[in-house]
Structure 1
Amino acid sequence: MKTDIKSFTRSEIDELIAECKQPSFRARQLFQWLYGHHARSYSEMTNLPASLRTDLERGHPLLTGTIINRQISSDGTRKYVIEFHDGARVETVAMPSMHEESPDRLSVCLSTQAGCPIGCSFCATGKEGFTRNLSVGEMIDQIVLAQSDMDMKTSSVVAMGQGEPFLNYENTIEALRIANSPDSLNIGARHITISTCGIIQGIQRLSDEPEQFTLAISLHSAQQAVRDALMPSLAHIPLRQLKRSLLDYREKTNRRVSFEYLMIKDLNDTDEALKALLSFCKGMLCHVNLLPLNKTAGNPFQPSAAATMKHWVSALSQHGIETTVRNSRGSDIAGACGQLKNSL
């Protein structure tokens, strides 16, 4: 079976070029064509010998994703459905920030898996099930396609689209290293965020990586029973164990953790829920992002009231916990994860 050239890691590209009996500098040239110039065919790689290009094309096709659906929000957000060579589809979101009515920075939210095995009860992606892990190149393709469509350089990346990044750990980390590389997209490591539901092994592995990627945890409740109901696949990971792993992460890296908290009316926005979150955050260097719930068809959950959101921000801030309410982006274009793809 032929292996897509963009499924190779950088070290594997080095090994491949050596196997082709080519000088080592050819590996960097190939890498630059793939991830610096974003070539869509070997014929574009004009400084590689024709014989090498022929051999590579025969054994390792260069496959790229294609945008098959695009929607543009009134706030400038663009949401894409991207299809890969085998028909697998993912969603990618491009979010420009505005300065004096003109976009000046671009954040791209990419998927790490087609579908998702976690199956959170509030998530449209979870309802479609899991298809497969994405390759290194398929993750980079999402960034490249989005920034090309936006005609803007990507300033920051969040691995927070469809899928659980730590269940595709090796490919995700390699893709983010490529995004960080000066030979590729040259996005600063601290502007690259990995959002996990709380896979302990992944948190431990990330703490040993040299890059200063930002870690975000999709928490959504600090009450065990409520979190188990919202995220049943994670019921085997107690909150006390998650907190211990995050304290260890802080001790090893001295980096702050972000908590993503989707505010759901009368479920995880009660006074008891707030007390539980305050207790969970105690002793940790953390930032809390409160997220308004995007309504999706067939979803029984309701968003928390604006007054509740305001009260939570005030209470958390009074306890020294930096808190923000993340603006809901793209709600008029099927903004929730999986919502657009599942409508096609």
Structure 2
Amino acid sequence: MSKIELNSLTLEELKEFMYSIGEEKYRGEQLFNYIHSNKGCDISEITVFSKKMQDKLQDIGKINNLEIFKRFDSKLDNTKKYLFLLEDNNIIEGVVMEYEHGWTACISTQVGCKMGCVFCASTKNGLIRNLLPSEMVNQIYTMEKDLNIRINNIVLMGSGEPLDNYENVLKFLRIIHDEKGHNTSYRNITLSTCGIVPKIYELAEEKIPITLSISLHSPFDEIRRKMMPISNKYFIDDILEACRYYSNKTNRRITIEYTLIEGVNDRIKDILQLTNILSNLNCHINLIPLNPIKEFDKNRSSNSSIMQFKDELMKTNIPVTIRREMGKDIDGACGQLRRRYITKDTN
């Protein structure tokens, strides 16, 4: 029988777990506090428990950990990119970036991805498995311990589709937000999705005020289908209707991610259609210069085209920014570094 992943449990779940094994519920709170105040640990290190209690826990439970396999430091900015080694020897990656307002971590939610977006390196080897809540939390804690920092903002935008790992991601959100844990405000967390419509509605019902970020990348269904297979299942109108529902339920503005690709989605007609479909959505557009990968033969839009696209959108009073490129010299875009490693392209 597999052991219970104790650091994948929320505070309430740990209380119930301790009660189920004949202990007082407050022991669950002690365990939760110890794990998260120490940013992970081994059961044998939990000094608030007797040796007998430690042995009892070790018989039926475990605390999941991950290791830093490699760290890459950008020479252009203070971005750090990590390859993490999971206990089953799978590799995932995470990034931590320094901004004026503090440190932001971009973490993975799956080993690989099955969404098949043509310009994304994360999906090229398919989905291996979902990450556990503990494996998401551990990415945060491991980077914090390694750099001796406090991560202020969390972005679920690394490898994987968060809404395809819905239950584990929801648990992660509750764990990382808990005031007895990392105590991260929901408003400092962003979840990026390619647009799994039923899960957007489901997440809205939770009324967790995180920022929902939609990978749109084209205002036309026929173009989007060529780039993102999910568009064969969910049309843009369906996604935006779900976004309006989410925004109304959470009182949060939606972020629209838009990767600019030369001659594909950076034309005047794209601007006009984008303005049309977003006219009644409380949103902000984040323009992203394409990070080229060898499996995708399109080019990023020129700097002048990117600025023109932004300027034209601003005339419509839709808030728009251009994403600052971080860690470009260390394969900063999600999935690139892991893919280079697993395909033996690294030195």
**Same fold flag (TM > 0.5):** yes
Question: Does residue 60 of structure 2 align to residue 63 of structure 1?
Answer: no
Displacement, 1:249? 1.9
Asked if the contact 2:157–2:334 (Cα under 8 Å) also holds between the matched residues in 1, the reply is no
Partner residue of 1:269 out of 266, 284, 289: 266
Question: Does residue 330 of structure 2 align to residue 328 of structure 1?
Answer: no
Specify the alignment match of 1:169 in structure 2. Answer: 166
Which aligned segments of 4 or more residues in structure 1 are displaced greater than 4 angstroms? Answer: none
Asked if the contact 1:39–1:45 (Cα under 8 Å) also holds between the matched residues in 2, the reply is no
C-alpha distance after superposition, 1:107-134 (max 9, x if no partner): 0001111100101000011101101111
- Distance of 2:11 and 2:207 partners within structure 1: 16
Question: Does residue 16 of structure 2 align to residue 15 of structure 1?
Answer: yes
Displacement, 1:252? 2.3
* Percent sequence identity over aligned pairs: 33
Displacement, 1:9? 3.4
- Distance of 1:69 and 1:51 partners within structure 2: 37
Question: Does residue 165 of structure 2 align to residue 157 of structure 1?
Answer: no
Asked if the contact 2:40–2:141 (Cα under 8 Å) also holds between the matched residues in 1, the reply is no
Counterpart AA for 2:175: I
Per mean C-alpha deviation after superposition, the further-off stretch among 293-302 and 141-150 is 293-302
Specify the alignment match of 1:90 in structure 2. Answer: 92
Alignment of 1:240-319 (within 5 A): 240-319=237-316
Displacement, 1:273? 1.4
Asked if the contact 1:294–1:328 (Cα under 8 Å) also holds between the matched residues in 2, the reply is no
Asked if the contact 1:91–1:110 (Cα under 8 Å) also holds between the matched residues in 2, the reply is yes
Asked if the contact 1:4–1:61 (Cα under 8 Å) also holds between the matched residues in 2, the reply is yes
Specify the alignment match of 1:29 in structure 2. Answer: 30
Displacement, 1:323? 0.3
Partner residue of 1:212 out of 202, 209, 214: 209
Displacement, 1:2? 2.2
Asked if the contact 2:176–2:182 (Cα under 8 Å) also holds between the matched residues in 1, the reply is yes
Asked if the contact 2:195–2:230 (Cα under 8 Å) also holds between the matched residues in 1, the reply is no
Alignment of 1:91-106 (within 5 A): 91-98=93-100, 105-106=102-103
Partner residue of 1:180 out of 173, 177, 181: 177
Counterpart AA for 1:93: V
Give the TM-score taking structure 1 as reference length.
Answer: 0.95
In the alignment, structure 1 segments of 5+ residues that lack a partner are: 99-103
Q: Would you say how many aligned residue pairs link Structure 1 and Structure 2?
A: 339
C-alpha distance after superposition, 1:40-70 (max 9, x if no partner): 2112211123222111112112220111011
Asked if the contact 2:177–2:183 (Cα under 8 Å) also holds between the matched residues in 1, the reply is yes
Asked if the contact 2:207–2:250 (Cα under 8 Å) also holds between the matched residues in 1, the reply is no
Partner residue of 2:195 out of 174, 194, 198: 198
C-alpha distance after superposition, 1:227-273 (max 9, x if no partner): 10110133110111112111222232222100011111111111121
C-alpha distance after superposition, 1:313-344 (max 9, x if no partner): 11111111000001111110012211111112
- Distance of 1:148 and 1:201 partners within structure 2: 37
Partner residue of 1:78 out of 77, 80, 96: 80
- Distance of 1:39 and 1:226 partners within structure 2: 45
In the alignment, structure 2 segments of 5+ residues that lack a partner are: 342-347
Give the TM-score taking structure 2 as reference length.
Answer: 0.94
Specify the alignment match of 2:6 in structure 1. Answer: 5
Question: Does residue 39 of structure 2 align to residue 42 of structure 1?
Answer: no
Report SS of the residue matched to 2:284.
strand
Report SS of the residue matched to 2:206.
coil
Counterpart AA for 1:68: F
Displacement, 1:150? 2.2
Query: In 2 relative to 1, CA 148–135 (structure 1 residues): closer, same or farther, beyond 3 Å?
Result: same
- Distance of 1:38 and 1:202 partners within structure 2: 30
Asked if the contact 2:66–2:85 (Cα under 8 Å) also holds between the matched residues in 1, the reply is yes
Question: Does residue 341 of structure 2 align to residue 340 of structure 1?
Answer: no
- Distance of 2:280 and 2:230 partners within structure 1: 27
Report SS of the residue matched to 2:336.
coil
- Distance of 2:110 and 2:295 partners within structure 1: 23
C-alpha distance after superposition, 1:155-179 (max 9, x if no partner): 1000111111111111112112221
Asked if the contact 1:9–1:136 (Cα under 8 Å) also holds between the matched residues in 2, the reply is no
Counterpart AA for 1:164: E
Partner residue of 1:223 out of 211, 217, 220: 220
C-alpha distance after superposition, 1:4-47 (max 9, x if no partner): 22233333312210122111110001111222222321122111
Asked if the contact 1:192–1:214 (Cα under 8 Å) also holds between the matched residues in 2, the reply is yes
- Distance of 1:335 and 1:47 partners within structure 2: 41
Counterpart AA for 1:153: R
